[in-house]
A and B are shown apart, each in its own frame.
Chain A
């Protein structure tokens, strides 16, 4: 009896011990939860927040982080199609677009306390040019940068170029503190340090995982009543996890959710699915140097065989618009009156017949980036429609690097016949876009249709020159150049992608700017 009582007492006491420990742990967790007064914005994405912390070098995926820590001289508002002053308050150009003078904003401090002036601007751009990495090539026209006075800096160019647009670039145009950079070795920035003028200061960066930014109290543009004290950018690979987190309010914003998820989330009152235009565009490049696609008629037939509507609806999940011409709708130079191909299999068959296309031709190789689900679906749909006009295609999904390497093979026969291409502008300029994709190139880089036509080259060269002086004439020239592309069909212009950024309802103030895709300028946002 006594033993039984004793064992009961023992049991009760151990129960109490467990309860006490559990209570203690709960207290700790409550303490941890309530300690959080400052507001935190959490942005989750499927890739690393940043790869290389050096603002002169990074061009891989750190646009969001860098644009909150650093600033550029100017910013481009792609929805209004206008340039907004940032670190430069105004600018002028002279000498037929060969000299550009920028007035630098006064009273701006870097995160290390040093002041922004013309010298810092000269130092930053020269550093980027000298390193020659990432997208530094955007400064190629610049021959000399001169500090005119403390707050005026002058750029001399070798050939006329829209330096104002270049200064808005989403990479390689950031201004950094000379004091901080000079007092460390060259790799210091790369190793995870940052000293910009932006509204957020780098607090901590965990390699490949997350970046914690803290609001910069001395930010030149000041702060509103409500703000996010911390902005965190984090990698969460699983899209299902990202969806759950945003729906529960554990995250503030996320990108790259599958179209099916986006459709379902539209009815959830706790989240906002922000759908806006983008400057990203999907196209198909034909190998114009190898039969049968060296024949214009065959290329036109292929353009008529493409299932545009189906691809927009099913491959892009409806989050895209059918392309009109080479330039996306949001880019200056786009023309609404250009011809647009639609699927017409009968016409395609006729054109093939006209071109004497043999039904026993070899199988054509179509390459696409294997990780891009939309491209895979597009390739499969196109393959089945090409089969209807008697063209056989072999699909090959590859990592981008391998696919690009294959496209640059020395022998034309080793290259693919059809290449699925995703393109976006380095800065919002039609010339850079058309030059990269279709201007004659001695060594192949991104002109993966291998297309070369001196007449087209001259058209876009002239359009680029006229852009700074006679905008109307420039537009007409770009229109003509694109008409030429549509007629010659070295490429099919498929769709302009839409940006889809999902935010929680408590995350306010986000404004989409297609010139900086999926970038949230946290300074504009606030919690509610």
Chain B
């Protein structure tokens, strides 16, 4: 097992190295002048020259690459071309909001997905099953941003039940102390028992959290359903039935437990997908996270910021894949 993890980690490092190198090259091939951008919209020739020296853009490609990798090894991602602030500082500022959204949506996704999967499997080919299957296909195939806009229109524009976006309402932000421990508002406000902030944050995260959860819900539901249907035909389930155990116990205690392996693998990959999905959802819900950050960075070709987010995404994917591999490896059937 240890060798397996080490092997996977080394492979992960290789992947990261590849991603860093490829992104570095791509970013430099795009015709753009980072020095001019660094100075601002009305740059003079002298200012651009000075910026070129300051940013080390006159160095050869390999020197620039070497410097980048050396800085990266020390956790330095360089300074954003637009804001002139260290990319690492900015990532740290935006990350908690994204993580909060990803955690919540995964949580909703897993629980609702499992529930729908179980219901579908129990009532196979009945109308409930058809409805669940339709729902799960829809959640996977309908673009999340469209659903996001629709829900905004309904819950903010028409019913006025929920806020349009952002993390907190203006009044709470201005007149209440906002706890800042992990940067994840729901968690922070709960452990400091700041219920005003908690309630406000909860209202704000519901819509984006639900929209982000749609994909995992569909994925988990379909996965659980098919795994369960297979398991329900196994001999030990038949044996359990013949002992007269209730269908509920058989489903939740025996069958579901054994179907969790493949579902867990899918969940780790769904988290990866959710991370990418944040790019759209955060823009729609004005959620101040990594997705919103990268959207502005890409439009203005802020390459240190683009590299920073790319590396972050690559690292996340590598670890999520590792987690998925480990879950599979832990399965006794695979191990033997």
Contacts and interface: CB of A to CB of B under 8 A. Distances in A.
Contact of B33 (A48, A132, A232, A404): A404
Contact of B288 (A209, A240, A408): A209
Interface residues of B, number: 57
B317 interface: no
Contacts of B176: 32, 35
Given A32-B172, A35-B175, A51-B82, A244 B152 contact: yes
Interface stretch (B40-48, B257-265, B267-275): B40-48
A404 B36 contact: yes
Given A133-B39, A230-B174, A207 B156 contact: no
B198 to A, nearest CB: 8
A208 B31 contact: no
A240 B196 CA distance: 29
B17 interface: no
A208 B296 contact: yes
Contacts of A59: 40-42
A405 interface: yes
A423 to B, nearest CB: 10
B40 A60 contact: yes
A149 B167 CA distance: 51
B93 interface: yes
Nearest to B89: A207
A245 B160 CA distance: 11
A486 B172 CA distance: 57
Contacts of B286: 234-238, 241
A406 B156 CA distance: 44
A350 interface: no
Band of interface residues on A: 35 or more
Interface in A364-383: 371
A28 interface: yes
B317 to A, nearest CB: 24
Contacts of B292: 208-209, 237
Interface string B41-68: 1111111001000000000000000000
B188 to A, nearest CB: 16
A283 to B, nearest CB: 16
B284 interface: yes
Interface string B15-52: 00000000000000011111011011111111100100
22 contacts: A28-B195, A28-B196, A29-B196, A32-B169, A32-B172, A40-B171, A48-B296, A59-B42, A60-B82, A133-B40, A134-B42, A191-B85, A208-B83, A212-B174, A244-B153, A245-B164, A248-B160, A371-B299, A399-B301, A402-B32, A404-B36, A405-B36
Interface of B: 30-34, 36-37, 39-47, 50, 82-85, 90, 93-94, 149, 152-153, 156-157, 160, 164-166, 169-176, 195-196, 199-200, 203, 283-284, 286, 288, 292-293, 295-296, 299-301
Q: Ordered nearest first, which 9 A-B pairs have the shortest CB separation?
A: A59-B40, A401-B32, A36-B171, A209-B288, A402-B31, A405-B33, A405-B31, A32-B196, A236-B286
